[in-house]
Structure 1
């Protein structure tokens, strides 16, 4: 507005084709008028008479900016946020599944370890029982062999004893017959001597009893 008035003052009025010459000093230029208005009136955007237009253009600019953002930037941001939310949800689901799989794997490992320990304990117990059974069987077999050998030895001892006793009786009978014949010069039969030796042996056994 100020520039337009200044330019209007600098133009020379014309009548038809010929310029009208005015008397006096030349009119001021537009730059000089603008500087003078700024120095005397202040900065126009800060003048109260321009506040209504400034608020109107501010509202129009804000509305246009809001419309542009709501149509372009906000949907893109909403899509990015939604994708990020979906990705985070998928990652959380995957993490929960992996945690569940890890827990199942740990439980299966602990169960396998417990079963392995139980099997090893059972194998060791079976080995001890088998060794004990083998030792008992070996001991019984050795005892049976010893009993058999002892019985056989006792049988042989009994045979030897019986044979020795028989030989002793025979020797005693022969010795007694020889002594009697030598001392008495009598002819004593072997049967009489045997009866006498048996009677003496029976009497000795009675006295020992």
Structure 2
């Protein structure tokens, strides 16, 4: 019944009443004004804070990345310096090893030379002792031989010495005329 009554009056049931539209617009305006005065500034403030946080975070991230790059570069430089230092230490160690090796070789050669010189001195001393011993023996044999040949005793020491010396000089002269290594 209500619908037929409304239809008879010419009112559309789906269209709002003009008073409702005015009351709705006033309520909407008040709500918009309250939101604009209280809520929207809070939204703007939060939006600005988040924007600053994001921009600050990006800036801090860029700074951290730049710092990381700088630290990496320092690390690379230190690493290169340490590698150069290690190479220098290896080269120094090699050079020192070569120097020690050369010193030990020189000491060994000097010791060998001392041993050789000592051996030569000993050989020379033994040779001189052998020559003295042979001279005495040869002198004694020469005296005995001369006594047998002459038939008289050589009792005078000066005469005996002169005879032995002349005999030995003759022997040395004969020995020096023979070629080396000939028997």
Q: If the length of structure 1 is used for normalisation, what is the TM-score? A: 0.65
Pairing 1:193–2:159 present: no
Partner of residue 115, structure 1: 81
Larger Rg, first or second structure (1 or 2): 1
Is 1:147 the counterpart of 2:113 in the alignment? yes
1:165-176 to 2 correspondences below 5 Å: 165-176=131-142
Match of 1:156 in 2: 122
Q: 4+ residue stretches of structure 1 with deviation over 6 A?
A: none
Task: Tell whether 2:25 aligns with 1:44.
Answer: no
**Can you list the C-alpha shifts for 1:58-84, whole angstroms capped at 9, x where unaligned?**
994698265555444443333322221
- Mapped pair 1:181 → 2:171: no
1:24-83 Cα offsets, whole Å, 9 max, x none, are xxxxxxxx5x44323546752557xx89x59x7499469826555544444333332222
Task: Give RMSD over aligned pairs.
Answer: 3.3
Q: Secondary structure of 1:197's partner?
A: helix
- More divergent stretch after superposition (179-188 vs 60-69): 60-69
CA distance, structure 1, for counterparts of residue 63 and residue 82 of structure 2:
28
Matched, 1:202 2:173: yes
Structure 1 gap segments, 5+ residues each: 1-31
Question: How far apart are residue 195 of structure 1 and its match?
Answer: 0.3
Shift of 1:156: 2.3
Q: CA deviation at 1:94?
A: 1.3
Which is worse superposed, 89-98 or 116-125? 116-125
SS at structure 2 position matched to 1:44: coil
- Take 2:131 and 2:11, find their aligned partners in 1: how far apart are those partners? 163
| Superposed counterparts of 1:19-38, under 5 Å | 34-38=2-6
Between the aligned partners of 2:177 and 2:27, the Cα distance in structure 1 is 149
Secondary structure at 1:92's aligned position in 2? helix
Q: Cα deviations across residues 103-162 of structure 1 (Å, max 9, x unaligned)? A: 222222222222333333333332332233223222222322221222122122112212
- What is the rounded CA distance, in whole Å, between the counterparts of 1:105 and 1:126 in structure 2? 31
Looking at structure 1, the residues matched to 68 and 126 of structure 2 have their Cα atoms a distance apart, in angstroms, of 85
Q: How many residues align?
A: 174
Q: Which has the higher contact order (CA 8 A, sep 6+)?
A: 2
